[in-house]
Amino acid sequence: MKEYTFDPSIDCARALDKADELAAFRNEFYIKAERIYLDGNSLGLLSKRAEQSLLDVLDTWKEYGIDGWTEGPNPWFYLSEQLGEKMAPLVGAKPEEVIVTGSTSVNLHQVVSTFYQPNGKKTKILADELNFPSDIYVMQSQLQAKGYDPDEHLVRVKSRDGRFIEEEDIIAAMTDEIALIVLPSVLYRSGQILDMKRLTKEAHDRNILIGFDCCHSVGAIPHSFDEWGVDFAVWCNYKYVNAGPGGVGAIYVNQKHFQKVPGLTGWFSSSKEKQFDMEHVLTPAITAGAFQIGTPHLLSMAPLIGSLEIFAEAGIDRLRSKSLHLTSFMLFLIEHELEGMGFTVGNSHLDERRGGHVFLEHAEAARICKALKENGVIPDFRAPNGIRLAPMALYNTYEEVWHAVQILAKIMKEEQYKKFENKRGVVA
């Protein structure tokens, strides 16, 4: 574990901000002065460049109409591939191995339908019991589509403590009945980073394909998909990558699988050169572009153009370094200010095991989140008792982290949370 030197004063926070080499990027975002936004792991804030790139696509539509597909500053027909090329450095991939398309669930349906090919006794999919529910829904659906009972053929590795999944337990579950493994890169509650390199090697040693849902890691931590040999991955871009609500997701496919026909094909699966030949026999693209299905959602994709410019300038390694420093400072302050108030830290203190957010557990978590919002701090509640706090390297400050913890301590000391019902909202 890396040792950091902090003290609990606001002067320490201000000194850290003064030394922050990424501080100028905060000016790229729309920040409300009266609010401390710590929910970027659910929805990142709007940047001015993302706003401008959306307006630019609207201008292209206004100026060119149908010709916007091939003319203008970012021709729409090639935009998914171009954005995939720009995203590739965030995940350690070749430009042609990443395509910006679809949503996480649609993309997961795509890769599971492609790579889950039961054969003989290899009929099961391996997942984990702490995974985000929608991923489980997708795998259950894909099993049913191929005639298998999800209760028997979806194996979910158990957690020993309800927070973390041990790699040893995942490896032990890689039996000769497993046809495919789908795991999160970062657990959405505890923020635990799974050792993707180790798990990929162990899976391949057993002749099992493996892929990852990276929604809670892309834009927050570096990845090396090609070096690790990962078969596939999917992720959204509206969290750490700040592409906006409903922002278009992405798929990574290792180039060794480029000859594989996708399980779900459609209009944009085609080779660009053949697409408008209008043949009834598909000629798939020989890149990750083959894993597209329908027409790109241009207005939901456009903000990513500006957002990825910022990531290219900031650099994922520098962003990861600051993120770790921010969350370490927050954990230090939590230990100093919230002792005896009923909180349990539910994430790892080890840098190599911690994603981009801090996870606190408390019996009154839903009420506390409502009180935080009333006090201008925007957290994220996760049932039944979780509070996620995500200081973002691009736009949050150390002083904001300091104030957020002080506000939380004040809420607890004054029992402000008691005026709220301990029940989540419709959207939590």
Token couple for 418: 């008691």
Confirm whether residue 109 is marked as ligand binding: no
DSSP string, 204-223: HHTT-EEEEE-TTTTTTS--
Q: Which of helix, strand or coil describes residue 22?
A: coil
Confirm whether residue 134 is marked as ligand binding: yes
Cα–Cα distance between 206 and 200 in angstroms, integer? 10
End-to-end CA distance of the chain: 32
Token couple for 413: 């000391």
Q: Which position has the token pair 């350690």?
A: 92
Confirm whether residue 195 is marked as ligand binding: no
Question: Is residue 209 within 8 Å of 115, Cβ to Cβ?
Answer: yes
Confirm whether residue 59 is marked as ligand binding: no
Cα–Cα distance between 280 and 262 in angstroms, integer? 16
Confirm whether residue 29 is marked as ligand binding: no
Confirm whether residue 384 is marked as ligand binding: no
DSSP-derived letter for residue 354 is B
Question: Is residue 382 within 8 Å of 189, Cβ to Cβ?
Answer: yes
ω into residue 8 within 30 of 0, thus cis?
no
β-pair partners for 36? 377
Q: Which position has the token pair 């049932």?
A: 383
Confirm whether residue 238 is marked as ligand binding: yes
CA 147 to chain centre: 31
ω into residue 384 within 30 of 0, thus cis?
yes
Cα–Cα distance between 34 and 82 in angstroms, integer? 38
Confirm whether residue 200 is marked as ligand binding: no
Cα–Cα distance between 8 and 337 in angstroms, integer? 8
Confirm whether residue 213 is marked as ligand binding: yes
Cα–Cα distance between 135 and 226 in angstroms, integer? 23
Token couple for 266: 């459609």
Binding-site residues for pyridoxal 5'-phosphate, please?
A: 104-105, 132-135, 213, 216, 238, 267, 295
Binding-site residues, please?
A: 104-105, 132-135, 213, 216, 238, 267, 295
